[in-house]
Amino acid sequence: MSGRSIQVLLRRIPSSNIRTISSRVATKSLGPVFTSYLATRQYASHGHSHSEGASHGEDASGNYDRLWLLGSVLVFGPGFWYLTQPAAKIAPSHDDHGDASHAGASTPTKIHKDDDETQTDVTPVSDDHAEVPSEPPAVQYVLVGGGTAASSAAEAIKEKETAADVLIITEEVLIENPPDEPIVAVLVSEVEGKEEESQVEVKEEDSKVEVKKVEEVSKPAAKDDGNVSDEEYIEAYAPYMRPPLSKELWFEADSSSLKFKDWNGKSRDLFYRPEIYYTPVEKSLASLHKPQDDSKKVRLLTSTRVTRIDPDEHSLTLDTGKTIKYSKILIATGGTPKGLDSFDSLPASSKKHVHKYRSVQDFKQLDQLVKSQKSVVVIGGGFLGSELSVALAQRKNSGVKVTQIFPEEGNMALVFPRYLTKWTSRRLDKEGVTVKPSSVISSVKPSKDDKITINLKSGEQVIADEVVLAVGIQPNVDVAIASGLEIDDTRGGISVNAELENRTDVFAAGDVTSYHDMALGRRRVEHHDHAVMSGRTAGENMVGKKKPYTHLSMFWSDLGPAIGYEAVGVIDSSLSTVGVWAKGHDQIRPPSPGETPKPVSNKPSNPETTSNTKDDEEYGKGVVFYLSPEKRIVGVLMWNVFGKVPLARQVIKDKKTFSEVNEIAGLFNVHDTA
């Protein structure tokens, strides 16, 4: 008879030294049972053979045998009974008070067979896991998603109800995979007491999915020595800010600290709250069955995905199969970076040089790559692509060469007027970025020296060491679809009412939300400010406030030291615009006498587009008003004009029109040189 157990483990293994880091759990074999039985038989007959020389009769001999049999049963019977029992189910042990980044690590269990005796070395199982109630745990407030909106909602709830039971569930699992170390699936099997191993390299894009399926079995227990071992390669983060990942962090001397200076020079931490603010929740959910030691804290369950919500039963299902009951729930799942089909055909060896950019881990990886001389190509001319290109170009001392490719005719072409988008591209070129507007990718191929060749339809070739895709995000609505919630098919996202509620006690906030803007109608926006304020409003409404979301969101960006802008409302280049500028070469100056602003259509075929602008003009400071077809101001772009966001909001809410632009423009102090 033989016993066989197979584990599938994912880990990062240097190709030059592949080794297994798994904890092996062998299924109890029937082999030892038969071996022990034969040993008992041998011992009894051996005892009987010692009596062969004695002068006893047949009856005495029989009695003697029966005594030996009875003694054998008494001595070996309990052992025989134990060996024939089914293998005990050993629950994984978790450290309920450990670091959140290692929540869910399993404790190794080892059972070895050594010839005629079985040695068992089992790590004790914690009481929490040995006595997990069969009923699902109940949590007062569940926040699905670990980003800005969820963090803001948690703070709002705690402000209203300090002792509220709040649980954040985030699936952000990040695998550190250095370019020279592939992820390998290690198959560990045990047959007839012999261990066999085989390795299969796993594609990077598959590993993030597979690791979730096996991490509870395969990940070694975290060592409680304060050090992080090579095996602890999975990171899960508490809520943090995303904007600095493409802006401020790149200008810090020590970017590894994940600290940065904000606009007023104040040092900030990327994470909203310190680690002590959270109570880690283990995969078994055992701790959810009891109150927290500190009710002021927020529970945090990482590396876990919510697959379905049942609004009628007020319950949710996790990717582990476990269920949690809730009183109120918030969906704040944000968005996922988009890819490009042209890069999908690359072999795995080349795909490791193609990066999407949204997380802390993405920043860490790219930060390390550009510390040595690299040629980096950024695909995309929008907010992220333009910010990141400028930030990378600041690493001139490292010798990094930055090229930006996009199909539009200038940077930020989907939001800026045409004259401004062209000027912005020229400015980025001065900052050290090789900008290639109006460029369409025809094909992508691997090239020698482990590089990537990007072929453009113009016939030009661009060769890169690393490629960053910054082509937008798509809202994460999978859980909403699986739960039968209403989706906005036009704008994407989860449809909500004025109180940010989709179904009874089911709320949504942040990038994933399609909401009704009181001033501009139904919208879905992907701005940090919207995530903060919608998360706060949703949190307040979850505790019963019933407050309509009336906030008119803003966004900001910096493109190097010379350009900083803020905007409110609908900033769309397809709309007509009116720009009021203090123009000048190197110096800001007032407009010429008699200069009067007029609406400019940004359609390429309209001759008015460049009628009042010149290609060589500088746009140092100004304000641009975006007009609806009815000539109502629906958006305001403030270019190197700061502190005027409240004014811009009021202009839009008051439904000011084009006829009032001259009067309104003066309020923004565009011509002030101070």
CATH of the domain at 458: 3.50.50.60
Strand 306-310 and strand 298-301: pairing? unpaired
Look at strands 166-169 and 138-144 and give their pairing.
parallel
Residue 461 has pLDDT above 70, yes or no: yes
Distance CA 440, CA 438 (A): 7
640/648 Cα distance (integer angstroms): 14
pLDDT value, residue 71:
66
DSSP 533: H
Would the pLDDT of 193 be above 90?
A: no
Nearest-angstrom CA–CA distance, 183 and 204 = 7
Return all residues near 558 (Cβ < 8 A) that are at least 6 apart: 247, 387, 390, 564
Q: Give the pair of three-digit tokens for residue 453.
A: 């060749």
What's the whole-number mean pLDDT along residues 349-378?
A: 92
What pLDDT sits at residue 418?
A: 95
Contact, 483 vs 466, CB < 8 A? no
- Helix, strand or coil, per DSSP, at residue 420: helix
- What pLDDT is attached to residue 102? 34
pLDDT tens digits, 411-420: 999 999 999 9
DSSP, collapsed to helix, strand or coil, labels residue 112 as strand
Residues 6+ apart with CB under 8 A from 75: none
Q: Are residues 576 and 466 in the same domain?
A: no
Q: In terms of domains, do 349 and 461 share one?
A: yes
Q: Does residue 556 belong to any structural domain of this protein? A: no
Sign of CA dihedral 605, 608, 611, 617: negative
Which of 102-116, 236-250, 447-461, 598-612 tops mean pLDDT? 447-461
Dihedral over Cα of 614, 619, 621, 624: its sign: positive
Cβ-proximal residues to 578 (8 Å cutoff; 6+ apart), any chain: 597, 598, 599, 600, 624, 625, 627, 658, 661
> Per the structure block, which two tokens stand in for 63?
């009695």
Q: Do 583 and 460 share a domain, yes or no? A: no
Last residue of a domain, one of 85, 103, 127: 85
Res 385 pLDDT > 50: yes
Q: Which residue stretches of 175-264 are H helix?
A: 204-218
Rounded CA-CA distance 380/27 in Å is: 53
Residue 655: the pLDDT is 95
Q: Please report whether residue 501 resides in a domain.
A: no
Mean pLDDT across the stretch 238-255? 91
List pLDDT tens digits, range 18-44: 333 333 333 333 333 333 333 333 333
SS3 (DSSP) at 195? strand
- At residue 160 the predicted structure's pLDDT band, cuts being 50, 70 and 90, is very high
129 Cβ neighbours under 8 A, 6+ residues apart: 91, 92, 93, 94, 282, 284, 286
Q: Which among 551, 543, 570 has a CA at the least distance from the CA of 498?
A: 551
Cβ atoms within 10 A of the Cβ of 347, count? Answer: 10
Residue 55 domain-assigned (yes or no): yes
Residues 466 and 573 in one domain: no
Residue pLDDT, tens place only, 520-574: 999 999 999 999 999 999 999 999 999 999 999 999 998 877 789 999 999 999 9
Q: What values do phi and psi take at 130, rounded to 5?
A: -75, -20
Contact 401, 436 (CB under 8 A): no
Q: Of the given ranges (192-201, 385-394, 632-641), which has the lowest mean pLDDT?
A: 192-201
Which residues, at least 6 apart from 37, have a Cβ–Cβ distance to it below 8 Å?
80
CA-derived radius of gyration, the chain: 33
Strand partners, 565: 557, 639
**Token pair recorded at residue 326:** 């809730």
Tell me the C-alpha distance between 524 and 490, whole Å: 10
The pLDDT value recorded for residue 500 is 98
- Domain containing 596 — which CATH number? 3.30.390.30
The terminus-to-terminus CA distance of the chain in angstroms comes to 89
Q: Which of 471, 490, 506 is the last residue of a domain?
A: 471
Backbone angles phi, psi at 441, to 5 degrees: -80, 125
DSSP 487: B
- 95 domain-assigned: no
The answer to whether the beta carbons of residues 391 and 246 sit under 8 Å apart is: yes
DSSP string, 296-312: TSEEEE-S--EEEEETT
- The closest alpha carbon to 303, from 457, 123, 171, 111, belongs to 171
How confident is the prediction for the chain on average, in pLDDT?
77
Q: Domain for residue 457, yes or no?
A: yes
> Encoding tokens for residue 300?
């945090």
> Is residue 288's pLDDT more than 60?
yes
Are 455 and 463 contacting, i.e. CB atoms less than 8 angstroms apart?
Answer: no
Q: Alpha-carbon distance 337 to 318, whole Å?
A: 23
Q: What is the domain range of residue 49?
A: 29-85
pLDDT at 72: 64
How many domains does the chain fold into? 3
90 within domain boundaries: no
Facing residues of 402 across strands?
Answer: 376, 433
Distance in angstroms (rounded) separating the CA atoms of residues 530 and 512: 11
Weakest mean pLDDT among 101-105, 387-391, 662-666: 101-105
Residue 310 has pLDDT above 70, yes or no: yes
pLDDT at 410 over 90: yes
In a domain, 490, yes or no: no
Q: Which of these three, 407, 441, 471, is where a domain ends?
A: 471
Per-residue pLDDT tens digits for 325-348: 999 999 999 999 999 999 999 999
Q: In the 8-state DSSP scheme, what is residue 592?
A: P
Calculate mean pLDDT across residues 643-647. Answer: 96
> What are residue 278's phi and psi, to 5 degrees?
-110, 150
Residue 131 lies in a domain: no
